[in-house]
Amino acid sequence: MPSVHENRIPERKGVNATRSLFEAHGHIVAEISGGSDFGEDLYVSFVEGGERTGVHIAVQVKSGQSFRRANGYGVAPAKHALGWRVTNIPVVCVVYDLEMRALYWENATAFLRDRFDAGKPPATIAIARSRVLGPGTLDAFVGEMSDYLEVMGTQRGALSKLRLSATRRAGLVDDAPVGGRPNELFAPVAKFLDDHPRVVKGFLIGLMMLIVAVLLVYMAPTFVSFADRIPFLKPFNFLAMLYTYLSTGIALAIYEARAGRSSRVIKAFTFGTVSVTYFVELGLQAFDSELLSSISLVWAAVVPAIVHYSLLLGALYFIGREVDRRRRVKARRLSGAYAEDDD
């Protein structure tokens, strides 16, 4: 069966947030099926006083942390650069920051024309973190885009061939109840699990912690044996360092997962370091060769460096990310785009 790309959910969140913002303020929004492939996701027709103004824009929506930059956000025009530059309908690039739950925008057509006219074709369309698009800034956005269209001149053939397609799937109807017939054998168990989610979650967490504890106890003699082979290592200190590092990594991975962020790098460093140490010792026990002994000496010297520097660099990374988060929140609040930020 065809798989669903992992970026689809955040992409849809961005498109939905943009569409909802315009429609909530009375503007007309038409969504383009497969829009990302052609460089536009939405067409927006501005409305004032219940009447269409005749002003139209196209919107390309991007979502996710990959579009963050040091001073805001950035979108690479790639194959759409020419089309966005020569279009009669200005294209606006919008980035939806999932953590900030805010939209940021830039007039891609104006940006590209300015850079190309200056002989400096850009690799990225830069979006300042102050360019927040929300309820409090939407009128200013509409005014700015309307003014820009006057500069561009009268639109020619704005949306002559806009066609939206919707697919519908027919379902088979039979005599079964809604949801299908229950399995009487397992229905009571399923009902208990459904009615007591906290019990199930607590049980699974406890089971996972028990499995990890058993594994650590089982692996401890192997790590002690490894440290015994190395003259400059103290077995107890080495074991304590390794398990502290692993525990820190597990705690951070769980926290990042709960925050909806990837923890692959954390897992790679912590579990990777412990696993390599474990299998190096197993290899020495099975094949006590000079090559493996040399490898174990090198690895024994590398492990403390990995532990210390990854913890230090990790702490600096998380501090930096928190500073960046606070700055983005501040910029969102100062923009006045969202009324709840003033509470």
Higher pLDDT, residue 340 or 159: 340
- Is residue 153 pLDDT above 70, yes or no? no
For residue 36, what are its two tokens? 């990302």
Evaluate whether residue 2 is within a structural domain: no
Evaluate whether residue 168 is within a structural domain: no
Q: Are residues 124 and 235 in the same domain?
A: no
- Is residue 5 pLDDT above 90, yes or no? no
Evaluate whether residue 182 is within a structural domain: no
Q: Are residues 306 and 210 in the same domain?
A: yes
Residue 17's pLDDT is what?
94
The last residue of one of the domains, among 104, 134, 156, is 156
Q: Are residues 109 and 13 in the same domain?
A: yes
Q: Which domain holds residue 131?
A: 8-156
Confidence class for position 177, pLDDT limits 50, 70, 90: low
pLDDT (tens digit, 9 = 90+) per residue, 198-229? Answer: 888 888 888 888 998 898 899 899 988 988 88
Q: Are residues 13 and 124 in the same domain?
A: yes
- Report the C-alpha gap between 340 and 129 in whole angstroms: 18
- Report the C-alpha gap between 239 and 245 in whole angstroms: 10
Residue 244's pLDDT is what?
92
Total structural domains within the chain:
2
Q: Are residues 24 and 96 in the same domain?
A: yes
What integer is the mean pLDDT of 35-44? 77
CATH of the domain at 126: 3.40.1350.10
- Is residue 307 pLDDT above 50, yes or no? yes
Evaluate whether residue 171 is within a structural domain: no
- Is residue 160 pLDDT above 70, yes or no? no
According to DSSP H, which parts of 103-196 are helical? Answer: 108-117, 138-152, 187-195
Contact 59, 108 (CB under 8 A): no
Percent of the chain topping pLDDT 70: 87
Confidence class for position 343, pLDDT limits 50, 70, 90: low
Q: Are residues 216 and 151 in the same domain?
A: no
Out of 38-47, 108-117, 150-159, 315-324, pick the least confident: 150-159
Q: Are residues 40 and 120 in the same domain?
A: yes
Q: Are residues 86 and 38 in the same domain?
A: yes
Contact 212, 206 (CB under 8 A): no
Contact 141, 111 (CB under 8 A): no
Residue 293's pLDDT is what?
85
Residue 175's pLDDT is what?
56
Q: Are residues 197 and 148 in the same domain?
A: no
What integer is the mean pLDDT of 58-65? 92
Q: Are residues 101 and 13 in the same domain?
A: yes
What integer is the mean pLDDT of 38-49? 89
- Is residue 47 pLDDT above 50, yes or no? yes
Percent of the chain topping pLDDT 90: 38
Evaluate whether residue 79 is within a structural domain: yes
pLDDT (tens digit, 9 = 90+) per residue, 327-336? Answer: 998 998 888 8
Please state the pTM of the whole predicted model: 0.63
Q: Whose structure tokens read 């089971």?
A: 207
Residue 43's pLDDT is what?
94
Q: Are residues 309 and 231 in the same domain?
A: yes
Evaluate whether residue 185 is within a structural domain: no
